[in-house]
């Protein structure tokens, strides 16, 4: 178990200490539950009340926070407490795995495969022919790496990851358990007799630097060419990325979303959970897609917020929903007017 002083933590996150710099912590805790010997953080003002009740030994807070009462905990002030805490968690995780090295048995590594320095290959791993793996790569149990795969430096493949042949991974990539990279795209040509002929999927998947992919996500290989995940993309669990899709830099996609074949997503797009995009469309840079939205057409306007099915501009869609809710009332008023007109006609 790793242990750090407040002074060491402050150096890691470039913060300013208020209180005892020598106090030690060895665990992380939520602000409402943290105990002595643990470190926590406060970023959301909604949780400020817990700050004054917390038993945490060290708490990371924003520089701008004005305290309402004195605290016993040692404070570390930073410009952004949430970002600083994320940095600290990242460094902690790196320290936990930095001593992992070597090749465990049983595992299979092809004689034609090349592994870089400071690698770790856990038991029950399979590494195919002509695979090239860079430095500081951590491969956990039951990972399968197909023939001709290329993997850069500082990559973590968690248990059960499968990477099909010919795929290319860059540097500083994390892929979580159960994810499959490079399985066949869903390509079938209809025949005259009503059956379907499989279209061979001859391309690959290219994943650029600083990408993180959650558990049980699937990214299909291209029919021809590459399915491309650009630099800085973050994919949640349980996402389907179809063949020949391209996802732009720093785009984030939440769980249970699906992207159909040959769709191009721009830079810095945010897609909420259970959203979907049909095939062969484009989504402009900076678009925000609300959860459970369905995109059926190309979005050309950058930074647009869309929602609903079929997805439309957020404000217009909400106004339409209000009108739909009012339809029963409008129907009732129309019927009342019809009766009134009939009564007036009879009197006339």
Q: Which tens digit of pLDDT belongs to each residue from 120-171?
A: 999 999 999 999 999 999 999 999 999 999 999 999 999 999 999 999 999 9
Entry pTM:
0.83
Same domain, 256 and 115: yes
Q: Which of 50, 82, 97 is the last residue of a domain?
A: 97
Report residues of the chain scoring pLDDT below 50.
Answer: none
Residue in the structure block whose two tokens are 């699937």: 218
Give residue 139's pLDDT. 98
Same domain, 79 and 115: no
Counting beta carbons within 10 angstroms of the beta carbon of residue 285, is it exposed (0 to 12), middle (13 to 18) or buried (19 or more)?
middle
Give residue 348's pLDDT. 65
Give residue 144's pLDDT. 98
Strands, E, within 223-265: which ranges?
226-229, 234-235, 240-241, 246-247, 252-253, 258-259, 264-265
Same domain, 108 and 155: yes
Handedness of CA 97, 98, 100, 102 (dihedral sign): positive
Number of domains in the chain: 3
Separation CA 170–CA 214 (nearest Å): 17
Q: Which of 66, 97, 128 is the last residue of a domain?
A: 97
* Nearest Cα to Cα of residue 234 among 248, 221, 222, 220: 248
Non-local (6+) Cβ contacts of 49 within 8 A are none
Give residue 1's pLDDT. 60
Give residue 114's pLDDT. 98
Same domain, 217 and 255: yes
Active site residues: 243
Same domain, 60 and 144: no
Q: Which of 97, 120, 148 is the last residue of a domain?
A: 97
Same domain, 40 and 143: no
Same domain, 39 and 187: no
**Structural domain that includes position 63:** 4-97
Non-local (6+) Cβ contacts of 279 within 8 A are 242, 260, 261, 262, 263
């Amino acid at each position: 178990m790793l242990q750090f002083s407040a002074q060491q933590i402050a150096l890691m996150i470039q913060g300013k200490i208020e209180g005892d710099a020598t106090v030690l912590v060895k665990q992380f805790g939520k602000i409402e539950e943290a105990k002595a010997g643990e470190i926590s953080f406060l970023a959301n003002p909604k949780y400020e009340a817990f700050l004054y009740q917390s038993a945490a030994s060290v708490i990371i807070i924003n520089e701008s926070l004005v305290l309402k009462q004195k605290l016993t905990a040692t404070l570390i002030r930073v410009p952004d407490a949430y970002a600083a805490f994320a940095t600290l968690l990242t460094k902690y995780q790196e320290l936990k795995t930095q001593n992992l090295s070597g090749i465990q048995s049983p595992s299979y590594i092809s004689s034609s495969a090349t592994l870089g320095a400071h690698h770790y290959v856990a038991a029950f791993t399979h590494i195919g022919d002509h695979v090239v793996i860079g430095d500081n790569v951590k491969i956990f149990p039951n990972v399968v790496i197909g023939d001709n795969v290329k993997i850069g430096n500082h990559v973590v493949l968690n248990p059960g990851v499968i990477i099909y042949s010919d795929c290319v991974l860059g540097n500083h990539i994390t892929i979580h358990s159960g994810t499959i990279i490079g399985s066949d795209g869903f390509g079938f040509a209809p025949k005259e007799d009503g059956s379907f002929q499989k279209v061979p999927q001859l391309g690959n998947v290219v994943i650029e630097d600083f990408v993180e992919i959650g558990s049980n996500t699937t990214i299909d290989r291209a029919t021809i060419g590459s399915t491309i995940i650009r630099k800085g993309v973050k994919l949640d669990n349980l996402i389907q990325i179809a063949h020949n899709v391209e996802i732009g830099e720093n785009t984030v996609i939440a769980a249970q979303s699906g992207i159909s074949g040959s769709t191009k997503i721009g830079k810095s797009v945010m897609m909420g959970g259970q959203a979907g995009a049909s095939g062969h469309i484009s989504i402009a840079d900076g678009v925000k897609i609300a959860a459970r939205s369905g995109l059926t057409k190309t979005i050309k306007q950058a930074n647009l917020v869309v929602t609903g099915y079929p997805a439309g501009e957020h404000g217009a869609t909400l106004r339409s929903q209000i009108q739909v809710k009012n339809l029963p009332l409008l129907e009732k008023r129309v019927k009342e007017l019809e009766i009134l007109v009939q009564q007036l006609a009879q009197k006339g």
